Structure 1
């Protein structure tokens, strides 16, 4: 009887202790707390600067055809040698002349209901040339056509050192971004805080398309092929995030 009474007393004590501990554990658990992000505004803007180009890149080629592959390549090599010599006489340095393509392909005649008949071979040698004087583009094109060039792919104008124009476009982009951010803050009835982040999309140079056309015919009909460099548009795109204060 005494042993049973002691056991009951111990069980009661344990249950009471558990009941008392439960509220304490519930009270010690931290209440969830949601962190609210600071209000902000994200915007994008760009800056553009127009500038005259001071260099040009022109790609042209010599295409020859002959009954045999060796003959087509030999004729092509002879004419391209004359073209390179003409470039040197025009003041183009060796480092500004780069071979950009060399191809040889069989040429076939196709007649209905008959197998293709080999006509000969076509060799093509293309060269990309950097011209550091935009006023010499037309005369250089005429010189290489006279030396044997019979294909011109096109002309691209550029800047030798674009950093100054890019930095000017960056300043214009930041000014546009600040102006847009102030306008939005005023429209929302809030106060504009500091800038949280700023990202640049990279410089982009845009120019009007230049089509070479049939430069051989133009060179034959004119004293000098007219080339108008026009203007380049240097553009910088940026995005920024500003803090706003209610």
Structure 2
């Protein structure tokens, strides 16, 4: 019976060193370098985004809401008469809040007296003809916009300018990689991986309540929008 098991034991003894030898020789990754590149491209905006709020106050919530409805209806009609399309007008929110007067009591507590209700309706407006932005703001304020509000400029389709920023970011990464490799006495090989992230600086707000509706059209400067892209590029080193 002992002789019957000798061939199997011998085969196992031969096979195991072969498997162990294969596990001891993993493939080593090639030398590589990872660098970040930044790119920026600017373009004039083609879209103005307005946030216009109307606030009305009255003794009852119903009276405040009715007054607010009349004022906002006039604002919306003015937007449409100025050429703003229906699809570019959107209600952003309606708030109804009680307003109280507080007085101190002799025992140190407070009493609250309900004096009025405030209703605020906020309208988001997209202005596609930027040259009309000042005119539209003037009309909105004169017709009832009296709280909050803001303006920002953007681009409806920034794909082309973002693509330009990406090219600049990759070129910046390549230049950095070559400089680092040269300093280390090696050379840059093929690109192994690229990842990117794009972002734009937030717009500066302008408060509608600060505009003088009795004067000339609000002076509006659209400026330029800057689109920035950052990429991480992995290069092989030779």
Shorter-chain TM-score: what band?
0.7 to 0.9
**In the aligned structure 2, how far is the partner of 1:92 from the partner of 1:190?**
60
Describe the shift of the 1:70–1:124 C-alpha distance in structure 2 as closer, same or farther (beyond 3 A).
Answer: same
- Once the two structures are TM-superposed, the CA of residue 195 in structure 1 deviates from its matched residue by 0.2
Partner residue of 1:219 out of 213, 219, 223: 213
Is 1:45 paired with 2:40? no
Map 1:80-229 → 2, pairs under 5 A: 80-113=72-105, 114-201=110-197, 203-212=198-207, 214-216=209-211, 218-220=212-214, 222-229=215-222
Q: TM-score normalised to the size of structure 1? A: 0.85
Describe the shift of the 1:88–1:25 C-alpha distance in structure 2 as closer, same or farther (beyond 3 A).
Answer: closer
**In the aligned structure 2, how far is the partner of 1:244 from the partner of 1:110?**
73
Describe the shift of the 1:109–1:30 C-alpha distance in structure 2 as closer, same or farther (beyond 3 A).
Answer: same
Describe the shift of the 1:29–1:88 C-alpha distance in structure 2 as closer, same or farther (beyond 3 A).
Answer: closer
**In the aligned structure 2, how far is the partner of 1:27 from the partner of 1:167?**
55
Larger radius of gyration: 1
- Once the two structures are TM-superposed, the CA of residue 178 in structure 1 deviates from its matched residue by 1.2
**In the aligned structure 2, how far is the partner of 1:138 from the partner of 1:152?**
17
SS of residue in 1 equivalent to 2:20: coil
Matched positions, count:
230
**In the aligned structure 2, how far is the partner of 1:27 from the partner of 1:124?**
81
Describe the shift of the 1:76–1:36 C-alpha distance in structure 2 as closer, same or farther (beyond 3 A).
Answer: same
**In the aligned structure 2, how far is the partner of 1:151 from the partner of 1:219?**
14
**In the aligned structure 1, how far is the partner of 2:137 from the partner of 2:226?**
25
Moved over 6 A (4+): none
C-alpha RMSD of the superposition = 2.3
- Once the two structures are TM-superposed, the CA of residue 53 in structure 1 deviates from its matched residue by 1.0
Describe the shift of the 1:24–1:219 C-alpha distance in structure 2 as closer, same or farther (beyond 3 A).
Answer: same
Structure 1, unaligned runs of 5 or more: 1-9
Q: TM-score normalised to the size of structure 2? A: 0.88
**In the aligned structure 1, how far is the partner of 2:220 from the partner of 2:114?**
40
Describe the shift of the 1:117–1:34 C-alpha distance in structure 2 as closer, same or farther (beyond 3 A).
Answer: same
Deviations along 1:27-59, one digit per CA (max 9) or x if unpaired, are 555332243211100111111012211111010
